[in-house]
Chains A and B, each alone.
Chain A
Amino acid sequence: MQVGVFGIGDVTTDPTTGRTPSEHDRIKDTIAIAKKAEEVGLDVFATGEHHNPPFVAPANPTVLLAHLAAVTERLILSTATTLITTNDPVRLAEDYAYLQHLADGRIDLVMGRGNTGPVYPWFGKDIRQGIGLAVENYALLHELWRTDVVDWQGKFRTPLQGFTSTPRPMDGLPPFVWHGSIRSPEIAEQAAYYGDGFFANNIFWPKEHFQQLITLYRKRFEHYGHGSADQAIVGLGGQFFMRRNSQDAVNEFRPYFDNAPVYGHGPSLEEFSSQTPLTVGSPQEVIEKTLEFTQSFGSYQRQLFLLDHAGLPLKTTFEQLDLLGEILPTLRAEWEARRPAHVPADPPTHPSRLAARENAAAEANDTLVGATSTTSTPDSTTPDSTTPDSTKEG
């Protein structure tokens, strides 16, 4: 399981002090949080893409992620999300391939449509064509990363003749892609078709809704022949506010919850917590609630938490990350105990996909040798393949 944090860099007044951070503060805090995430043992940092105040998530996430690639060593850098609707897929192909090289393969992307109406016309697009844009733009991006010279024509963009997107993906392996959706069955279908990951940002809605979406994705993943339904690559959101003592967490977080730009002045903290992944309480409560996700959605491969939001000061966010680091070993052990052997523990990474490609090439080579030589022995009958190591595959 890859565990990480994601955020959209909201510039929100701290309701307990009245202090509003500057954009500069928030941007620098974002970098500090990513470094801290690596320090406490997390695997992923994902940034949103944003084009309007009061958010400081970058308009082009590769700018931030390239910087983070230089100041981190292990963290997988991702997006939450990259707007596949309003960005030119040619620029996405070029920028993210470049980022992939800079980061030595430590990146992947989550495609999203974006959900604020005004953004589309700023980029000359129409929100009513959101699904069509997501489908066509991604089809082109997918091809640009896989075909060296592309001739292409579609509905939404200037045609391409003899176009080569540069740089080519590192080791000829395009970055792994997830498709994010909170309501559209078409996007679950798209993720399944390509055998890509599906990221369900379930932080606002009841689980029943996401069970439908994720079940659809899993079913169609199997339909398109990428593996069994339970082997499909699923990512989930989540959010918590943790203190050693449950009541301290509730008391401290309540003013932030009540005034947060997203859910403030709406449902009560208790009501919201009972129906969504939000957990405000002790480390044990966060562990219990998080493990319920596996029960609701099956074993999955990536868990991202929203921690940096609602005007919480950096110091508090750091404390949340420290506490997450403390419960991480327990979470990992429990997830692993629940995972069926044939279900992947992690999403594909650059090294794992490179290894898979080399294995496949080696197998193809063996088959070829086996077909032409009567003396060769297939690998499957050698004693080595019965050692525990063989269970690591996939």
Chain B
Amino acid sequence: MDILVISAGLSQPSSTRMLADRLTDAAVRHLGNHDQDAEVTTVELRDLAIDVTNKLVSQYTSPALERALAHVRSADALVVVSPIFNGSMSGLFKMFFDLVPPDDLAGTPVLLGATGGTPRHSLAIEHGLRPMFAYLRALTVPTSVYAATDDWGADSTLGVRIDRAGADLAAVLVRSPRPERVDPYEEVTPFSTLLGG
């Protein structure tokens, strides 16, 4: 299983990346219980921030951005984690996914995570991230994990929630793998069909 992790954390290290890593570890562990191996690639969006902006304003696609977008399309599952700013996902996170064509994530299991400075952002995943992935027709897993500053303290249920989310992703991935992607440059719609359409 090819798992692509997208982290939109900004500092080094960021709590967003920490959450992404822990979610991924949990998913990989549970995939192991299903006798599935996983290969994990992590993309830090901060490294692509300028490339994403260049693409938006000038159509210019850097090779690194091209690779990341191709990987979104080919990955078996995504673990995506964004910081929550002013009540919703970070601008960088949204800008990156704005570059993903609607068909490229169709049917791909996606585990959603977010971090924030206050527990009052805890539903931001549900009203911000999940609708966007619904538009992209991704298969978001039921459990999402929001980690506020308090959650990184001692008496938190964060570990339990992370474990449950990892189990969810593994179960969905095993039960409902993403559909095969059709390469539009390989399997072209014949012209007779285009004419008839």
Q: Which chain A residues have a beta carbon within 8 Å of chain B's beta carbons?
A: 131-132, 135-136, 139, 185-186, 188-190, 192-193, 204-206, 208-209, 212-213, 215-216, 220, 262-267, 271-272, 275-276
The minimal Cβ–Cβ distance linking B53 to chain A, given in whole angstroms, is 8
Closest residue of B by beta carbon distance from A260:
B58
Closest residue of B by beta carbon distance from A266:
B58
Report the bound CA distance from A213 to B188 in whole Å.
11
The minimal Cβ–Cβ distance linking A84 to chain B, given in whole angstroms, is 13
The minimal Cβ–Cβ distance linking A209 to chain B, given in whole angstroms, is 8
Stretch from B40-48, B112-120, B189-197 that touches the partner: B189-197
Which residues in B have their C-beta under 8 angstroms from that of A188? Answer: 188
- B189 & A212 in contact (Cβ 8 Å cutoff): no
10 extra interface residue pairs, beta carbon distance < 8 Å, beyond A263-B59, A271-B54, A271-B60: A135-B195, A185-B185, A185-B188, A186-B194, A204-B59, A215-B185, A216-B185, A220-B188, A265-B58, A266-B60
Closest residue of B by beta carbon distance from A264:
B58
Can you name 27 A-B residue pairings with CB atoms under 8 Å?
A131-B194, A135-B191, A135-B194, A135-B195, A185-B188, A186-B194, A189-B188, A189-B190, A192-B191, A193-B191, A204-B59, A205-B61, A206-B61, A206-B63, A212-B185, A216-B185, A216-B188, A263-B58, A265-B58, A266-B53, A267-B54, A267-B58, A267-B60, A267-B62, A272-B60, A275-B62, A275-B63
> Is B154 in contact with chain A by the CB < 8 A criterion?
no
- A206 & B66 in contact (Cβ 8 Å cutoff): yes
Closest residue of B by beta carbon distance from A192:
B191
Which residues in A have their C-beta under 8 angstroms from that of B62? Answer: 267, 271, 275
Report the bound CA distance from A208 to B188 in whole Å.
18
Known: A132-B197, A208-B66. A276 touches B60 (CB 8 A): yes
Report the bound CA distance from A264 to B63 in whole Å.
19
Which residues in B have their C-beta under 8 angstroms from that of A139? Answer: 195
Report the bound CA distance from A58 to B195 in whole Å.
30
Which residues in A have their C-beta under 8 angstroms from that of B179? Answer: none
> Is B13 in contact with chain A by the CB < 8 A criterion?
no
> Is B160 in contact with chain A by the CB < 8 A criterion?
no
> Is B153 in contact with chain A by the CB < 8 A criterion?
no
- B60 & A275 in contact (Cβ 8 Å cutoff): yes
The minimal Cβ–Cβ distance linking B91 to chain A, given in whole angstroms, is 17
Q: Which of B55-113 contact A (CB under 8 A)?
A: 57-63, 66
Which residues in B have their C-beta under 8 angstroms from that of A190? Answer: 191, 194
Which residues in B have their C-beta under 8 angstroms from that of A265? Answer: 57-58
- B54 & A266 in contact (Cβ 8 Å cutoff): yes
Closest residue of A by beta carbon distance from B191:
A193
The minimal Cβ–Cβ distance linking A376 to chain B, given in whole angstroms, is 41
- B58 & A262 in contact (Cβ 8 Å cutoff): yes
Which residues in A have their C-beta under 8 angstroms from that of B197? Answer: 132, 135
Report the bound CA distance from A264 to B189 in whole Å.
36
The minimal Cβ–Cβ distance linking A211 to chain B, given in whole angstroms, is 9
Report the bound CA distance from A204 to B55 in whole Å.
10
The minimal Cβ–Cβ distance linking B50 to chain A, given in whole angstroms, is 8
Which residues in B have their C-beta under 8 angstroms from that of A262? Answer: 58-59
Which residues in B have their C-beta under 8 angstroms from that of A212? Answer: 185
Report the bound CA distance from A54 to B191 in whole Å.
36
Q: Which of B160-197 contact A (CB under 8 A)?
A: 184-185, 188-191, 194-195, 197
The minimal Cβ–Cβ distance linking A268 to chain B, given in whole angstroms, is 9
Report the bound CA distance from A186 to B192 in whole Å.
11
The minimal Cβ–Cβ distance linking B58 to chain A, given in whole angstroms, is 3
Which residues in A have their C-beta under 8 angstroms from that of B195? Answer: 135-136, 139
Report the bound CA distance from A135 to B197 in whole Å.
9
Q: Which of B124-177 contact A (CB under 8 A)?
A: none
Contact partner, A189, options B58, B61, B191, Cβ 8 Å: B191
The minimal Cβ–Cβ distance linking B74 to chain A, given in whole angstroms, is 15
The minimal Cβ–Cβ distance linking B104 to chain A, given in whole angstroms, is 14
Report the bound CA distance from A136 to B191 in whole Å.
11
Report the bound CA distance from A267 to B57 in whole Å.
9
The minimal Cβ–Cβ distance linking A218 to chain B, given in whole angstroms, is 12
Report the bound CA distance from A189 to B191 in whole Å.
6
- B60 & A185 in contact (Cβ 8 Å cutoff): no
